[in-house]
Structure 1
């Protein structure tokens, strides 16, 4: 997402949702690691929902202008885990899963508002509609995007833990080249259309599935 893809007057919604979504994502990594016995992120003040603890200003600027950005990575020392491979996978997966849960929370709030029959002005309805549009879109993008098995994304770190030691060593040798492949996929439209775009197309079916689940309770 970039300035070219949404009206400038909607920029505050975009920035607000990104700050919340990034903060929850990084907090999920840090909190899960802390619960598993690694206090590295805790000592650096990362077990918090305060966006200032997670914000990378350069990454945020790139996000707004180029549609690609980042937050501060959460430091994790896997040597502090009782089961390093399993717990590292869970800590890594906690970030994307938190964004999926945020998307579900957004749908839940929408369902509650619709079921309650609360009346609001056209302006208020339009404002809420815009906010939740970005809330759902951004959190689904963060969920799916981070599952891509290329560094520096979470999907790569999860895949790495599944690999035998010898394979992991080989993967580490090519990590620097994998980053370039990732950037090519991200910024070259022909490659995006056959890689990232089909992945993002899963967002719709996932949201529909969650909506159908909520319909069991809210009609």
Structure 2
């Protein structure tokens, strides 16, 4: 049975944990790294927790993934951004680079972790099919959603993480001018999606990451 042949309940069971962990841990990683550099804003607001309820966004965590799941298409979502007060950072311009990279790096680690889950499923074999197949499907879903979120967030568009990294790397004057474009970030991203360019942009790096994980783990 392929992923496309699963019932709606089956697809929900397969995708729900990978999606929740992907977007929750991504945000917690931002807040945790910020706290290491002097900003405890997220910690003081109780956002350094893996409890998904603390990070849920009605639209991004529930409605959008739910609708996409019903349509049987690309699964995507987001959580409430963890607040970071860059004024509290020891070296704001430099430290924001590390804070921004924390989210995508967390997704990379989770993608590898879900790859291990998938590998375990294959190792269990046909004699344990009842347990093996869910692990294989869930592992693949985890690799996919984390690969997509990692690559999407690395796009050099504010307010995405890649935009934060670019702002930190640019000379101060250029960084200030670039940061003024943040209000255009969401419209630009919507335009890219509407034009059908997002899959062409993300497709190659997502495929490379997925196949690399499969190769490393011998899947």
Matched residue of 2:159: which SS? coil
SS at match of 2:80: coil
Aligned residue number for residue 79 of structure 1: 87
For the pair 1:185 / 2:187, whether they are aligned, the reply is no
Q: CA deviation at 1:150?
A: 1.1
Superposed displacement of residue 169, structure 1: 2.2
Deviation for aligned residue 1:170: 1.7
Larger deviation, residues 76-85 vs 106-115: 106-115
What TM-score comes out, normalization by structure 2 length? 0.83
Partner of 2:128: 121
1:34 is displaced (CA, Å) by 1.3
1:76 positional shift = 0.8
Structure 1 position 64, deviation (Å): 2.9
Deviations 1:70-128 (A, max 9, x none): 2111111122222222221111111110110011122234445666x687532222111
- Aligned residue pair count: 208
CA contact (8 A) 2:125 2:132 kept: no
1:65 aligns with 2:67: yes
The answer to whether residue 201 in structure 2 is matched with residue 195 in structure 1 is yes
Worse-superposed segment, 23-32 or 57-66: 57-66
Contact 1:55–1:71, Cα closer than 8 Å, also in 2? yes
Shift of 1:58: 1.2
Any residues of structure 2 matched to 1:79-118 within 5 Å, and which?
Answer: 79-111=87-119
Q: 1:5 to 1:56 in 2, by over 3 A?
A: farther
Q: Is the 8 A contact 2:121 2:132 kept in 1?
A: no
8 Å CA contact 2:114, 2:139 repeated in 1: yes
User: C-alpha root-mean-square deviation of aligned residues, in Å?
Assistant: 2.6
- The residue that corresponds to 1:18 in the other structure is 19
SS at match of 2:48: coil
Q: Classify 1:145/1:103 alpha carbon distance in 2 versus 1 (closer, same or farther; 3 Å).
A: same
Q: 1:58 to 1:211 in 2, by over 3 A?
A: same
Alpha-carbon spacing, 1:209–1:124, altered in 2? closer, same or farther (3 Å):
closer
Shift of 1:171: 1.5
Alignment match, 2:154? 147
Gaps of 5+ in 2: 69-74
Distance 2:104 2:158 in 1: 15
> Where do 5+ consecutive residues of structure 1 fail to align?
none
Deviations 1:10-61 (A, max 9, x none): 1232122111111111111111111222111111111111111111111121
Structure 1 residues 7 and 199: CA distance shift in structure 2, 3 A: farther
TM-score relative to the length of structure 1: 0.83
